[in-house]
Amino acid sequence: MINEPVGFAKEEPWRVFRIMAEFVDSFETMSQVGPAVTIFGSARTPPTDHYYEAAVTLGKGFAKNKMAVITGGGPGIMEAANRGASAAKGKSVGLNIELPFEQKGNRYANVPLNFHYFFSRKVCFVKYSVGFVFMPGGFGTLDEFFEVITLVQTQRIPRFPLVLFGTKYWSGLLEWAKTTMEGNAYISPGDLDLVTLTDDPQVAIDVIMKYMRQVGPPDVIPKALA
């Protein structure tokens, strides 16, 4: 029998309650948001960058179509998307995460939530969205992209539209996936058809709004991770 430190035995059960509290608080808030789109992207993108401007346009466009906009709540692309949604008087959701650097909540999220755990935050991104836009970003953005496409590919969630925004940024990854992953049968032919690649904010908006028209009114929208 392994002898664990006394502090470990006392601390671990209480961590379960902290995790539970994050889920309860976030589910209660997010269940009132309505149909939403999550926009992912780098926290390091400055306001002068054209991707920042595109994210503002996306946020405005979705809000004008009565869609809530969900982001990670931080600076950069997240700030831009929240900024656009807020400017269009829409629901601008920021799921902020406590980090030792980079991440600080932006002032444009009018529905802010704070998380300690990455995994509970990621559940909220997926559970309450009916479409996803992935702007250029770092490890976090790639992690979110691969997790969501895996859930769609394995049919754990409906075939929600997945938009990769920025052909210059994403084309190399898609080419590698085509030649190396699909070429070696690590993914199936057609798996890459799950994503739409574009540089046009209106195309991204149209892809997701087309899906919304196909699935019907909000009360019949398929639920993710039910």
**pLDDT tens-digit readout, 68-96:** 999 999 999 999 999 999 999 999 999 99
Residue range(s) defining the domain that contains residue 108: 6-219
Q: Is residue 159 one of the residues assigned to a domain?
A: yes
CB atoms within 10 A of CB 26: 20
Q: Is residue 191 one of the residues assigned to a domain?
A: yes
Q: Is residue 226 one of the residues assigned to a domain?
A: no
Q: Is residue 225 one of the residues assigned to a domain?
A: no
pLDDT of residue 188: 95
> Which pTM does this prediction carry?
0.91
Q: Is residue 119 one of the residues assigned to a domain?
A: yes
* pLDDT at residue 162 greater than cutoff 60: yes
DSSP state of 225: T
User: Which class for 117: exposed (0-12), middle (13-18), buried (19 or more C-beta within 10 A)?
Assistant: middle
* pLDDT at residue 101 greater than cutoff 60: yes
Task: Give me the number of domains the chain comprises.
Answer: 1
Nearest CA-CA partner of 181 in 150, 159, 157: 150
CATH number at residue 38: 3.40.50.450
Q: Is residue 74 one of the residues assigned to a domain?
A: yes
Q: Is residue 224 one of the residues assigned to a domain?
A: no
Nearest CA-CA partner of 44 in 15, 20, 79, 69: 79
Q: Is residue 205 one of the residues assigned to a domain?
A: yes
pLDDT of residue 2: 45
